[in-house]
């Protein structure tokens, strides 16, 4: 039985939530392996909309185990609020179907406060974070001073660990002219949430190993997109974790040999939230039309997304970096009604044609897209569930994308609804 990794191949917001939910019907375990509650997934099931940010998308399906891996940074208060919200919609979440890795780093109030203070101080040079503390929490993780989920199980030693954490944070706060954090108050806040979190804590690496040996199918769910990877993305306008598929192994405590198939979720056009380079960005009526038709607003923040034509160079590069075997092309229906479409096939960098996105921040700002124009279609693709339901020009568009990105389309999504999906290759059976 294959285990599948799902990652975004662009800047996030590609529609991973729906695809993961669709695939989870075939999976036994769904595991989140990186990111925090800054990444939102929207699921529409039988007319009910679920907005998830910390919880794996598999929680909305009964009989599935959901896992939050050690590569995630977790805000306990945000998690409990999300559980309460989902429970109100009839989804049952218990310690039997939700597991949190014991070595998961926690996001504390000091992290979100520092995040927001830095963005404010940066002014026009801000990164464009959500201000939810993800970056500072990862910093504390690599700085070996973070509070982890397992620390909630031993409150006797927690106070000393908080003191160690605050030595670092209070120095930063003094330097920014901000009052220091009171250790006693932070301890009381963390201790109060502990009983709500501890029932879910498990040695996830052991659990996943047991599930594999039992022949269970595991679906590894990434957050954001490969272009936001801390190493391979548009640095410094990136997130603070590795979003490429290889991190599914590290972020859950499982060997890379367990990753059998990588599915890259890819939007039929391109969007981005926040600051940073975006060669194919549109500032005209076409860009406005894409945003309006695609309802391009962030699930978590509500921020309007920047929109542009499909960038085959970027996607092809991320396919190679992330080892993507096939893509799930989403939001094809948003392109309905355009008389013609453009696809970025290369870049002009200071007069030279290049076929990749350079790593240099300066070069990224200077590249200009080189477009290929393809015919659009007037018929609707919304709700299509087979190739026969698609206009001929829409099929040609998909086939041309496959050629340009050097990767096959394994799935095609034609609406937010779970069943409006054309399956070409089942990743679990490939």
Long-range pairs, 156-160, Cβ under 8 A, ≥24: 158/187, 158/190, 158/191, 159/183, 159/187
Residue owning tokens 């285990």? 3
- Asked whether 396 and 314 are in contact (CB, 8 A), the reply is no
Provide CB contacts within 8 A for 151, sequence distance 6+.
106, 157, 158, 161
286 an active-site residue? no
41 an active-site residue? yes
**Secondary structure of residue 50 in the 3-state scheme:** strand
CA-based R_g, the chain, Å: 22
Maximum distance among all Cα pairs of the chain, rounded to whole angstroms: 67
- Asked whether 337 and 394 are in contact (CB, 8 A), the reply is no
DSSP state of 122: H
- Asked whether 331 and 306 are in contact (CB, 8 A), the reply is no
- Asked whether 405 and 312 are in contact (CB, 8 A), the reply is yes
Q: Could you give the CA distance from residue 273 to residue 238 in angstroms, rounded to a whole number? A: 11
Q: Spot the catalytic one: 13, 140, 311, 420.
A: 13
- Asked whether 243 and 34 are in contact (CB, 8 A), the reply is yes
Residue owning tokens 């907005």? 51
**Secondary structure of residue 19 in the 3-state scheme:** helix
Q: Spot the catalytic one: 21, 37, 41, 311.
A: 41
Active-site amino acid positions: 13, 41
């Amino acid at each position: 039985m294959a285990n599948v990794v799902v990652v975004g191949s662009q800047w996030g917001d590609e529609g991973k939530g729906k695809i993961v939910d669709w695939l989870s019907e075939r999976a036994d375990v769904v595991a989140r392996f990186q990111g925090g509650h800054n990444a939102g997934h929207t699921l529409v099931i039988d007319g009910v909309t679920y907005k998830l940010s910390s919880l794996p998308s598999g929680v909305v399906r009964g009989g599935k185990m959901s896992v939050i891996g050690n590569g995630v940074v977790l805000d306990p208060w945000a998690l409990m609020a999300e559980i309460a919200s989902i429970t109100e919609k009839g989804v049952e979440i218990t310690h039997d179907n939700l597991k949190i890795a014991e070595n998961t780093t926690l996001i504390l109030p000091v992290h979100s406060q520092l995040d927001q203070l830095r963005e404010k101080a940066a002014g026009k040079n801000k990164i464009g974070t959500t201000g939810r503390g993800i970056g500072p929490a990862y910093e504390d993780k690599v700085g070996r001073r973070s509070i982890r989920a397992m620390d909630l199980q031993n409150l006797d030693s927690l106070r000393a660990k908080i003191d160690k954490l605050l030595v670092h944070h209070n120095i930063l706060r003094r330097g920014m002219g901000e009052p220091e954090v009171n250790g006693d108050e932070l301890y009381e806040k963390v201790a109060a949430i502990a009983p709500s979190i501890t029932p879910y804590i498990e040695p996830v690496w052991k659990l996943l190993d047991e599930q594999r040996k039992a022949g269970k199918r595991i679906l590894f769910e990434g957050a954001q997109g490969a272009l936001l990877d801390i190493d391979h993305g548009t640095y410094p306008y990136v997130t603070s974790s590795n979003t490429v598929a290889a991190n599914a192994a590290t972020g859950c405590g499982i060997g890379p040999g367990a990753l059998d198939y990588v599915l890259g979720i890819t939007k039929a056009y391109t969007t981005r939230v926040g600051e940073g380079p975006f060669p194919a960005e549109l500032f005209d009526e076409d860009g406005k039309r894409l945003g309006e038709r695609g309802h391009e607003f962030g699930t978590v923040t509500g921020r309007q997304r920047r929109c542009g034509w499909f960038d085959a160079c970027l996607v092809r590069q991320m396919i190679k970096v992330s080892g993507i075997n096939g893509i799930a092309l989403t939001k094809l229906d948003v392109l309905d009604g355009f008389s013609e479409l453009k696809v970025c096939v290369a870049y002009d960098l200071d007069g030279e044609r290049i076929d990749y996105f350079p790593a240099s921040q300066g070069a990224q700002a200077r590249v200009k897209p080189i477009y290929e124009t393809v015919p659009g279609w007037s018929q609707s693709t919304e709700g299509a569930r087979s190739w026969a339901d698609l206009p001929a020009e829409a099929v040609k568009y998909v086939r041309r994308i496959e050629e340009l990105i050097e990767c096959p389309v394994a799935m095609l999504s034609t609406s937010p609804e779970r069943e409006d999906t054309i399956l070409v290759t089942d990743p679990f059976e490939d």
